[in-house]
Amino acid sequence: MRRPRRRPPTAEPHLMAHLRSTVWGPAEFVGLPPWWLVAEGLVAGVLGAGAVIGTTLVGAWYGLPAWAGGEVALVCCAALVLYLSVVRAGRALIGLVAVLSVCLAFQAPQAAAGVVLAERGRVESVVVTSVEGGSAAVPGRGRYLCSVADRDGVPLQVRIWRGCGQTTRPGDALAVVYDPKGRVPPRGVAAGAGPYEPLRDPAALAAALVGACAIAVVRSYRLTHVVSDAEAGGSGRGAAERL
């Protein structure tokens, strides 16, 4: 009886390894990555998140529209993604960093305005002229928006939602914090909110961004096996190389 011929080995395992390396990064090292590699990833993430938040905060503080609006922050996001592409990080991790950084850039303007108002804002009482939203759509739910006017009867150009609730009526008084230099729009004073409450959500996003950058940089490296002293020129250390 003739034995069936064995099929030649396929390239499927190599293809899957290549796809996994492309999507998630090679990370060809044994055990924990070296500290300097983790440090490089953390520094990249901290610099990226700091640039996104810092440029927006500077723009809000000094009244620079392109900076305060987040346009410069988006450029910082693109620079961070470009850096990860240059070091050939995994595509999935690059996409994750891109999403987190853009979300942070969209949250940063409101947070930066809140920090400016917390640092140099002044609180004054305004009068409600009209109330919209909330119960007009679904009773007891939704956000209420109050149109207000200052003590001289001059209406503010923005509507207030902090402190504006279901029981608010025209003629009621609301506390509003405003920037004496007029570089950020005024907003209502929320009850029980701390001075740095606006930074809570961006801080969580920034921490996630730093972690994602660290993982992407670490997995973008291929670490060779430890070689002997003679092969390494007496150093006794493993050599590292990027893909």
Angstrom distances, CA of residue 11 to CA of 17, 139, 153: 10, 63, 78
Residue 63 half-sphere exposure toward CB, CA atoms < 13 A: 7
**pLDDT per residue as tens digits for the range 178-198:** 999 999 999 988 765 666 677
Q: Is 152 exposed, middle or buried (0-12, 13-18, 19+ CB in 10 A)?
A: exposed
Domain locations in the chain as residue ranges: 32-118+196-242, 124-178
The pLDDT score that the predictor gives to residue 24 is 81
How is residue 29 written in tokens? 């090292």
pLDDT, mean of residues 32-48? 91
pLDDT per residue as tens digits for the range 57-66: 999 999 999 9
Task: Give me the pLDDT at residue 32, please.
Answer: 79
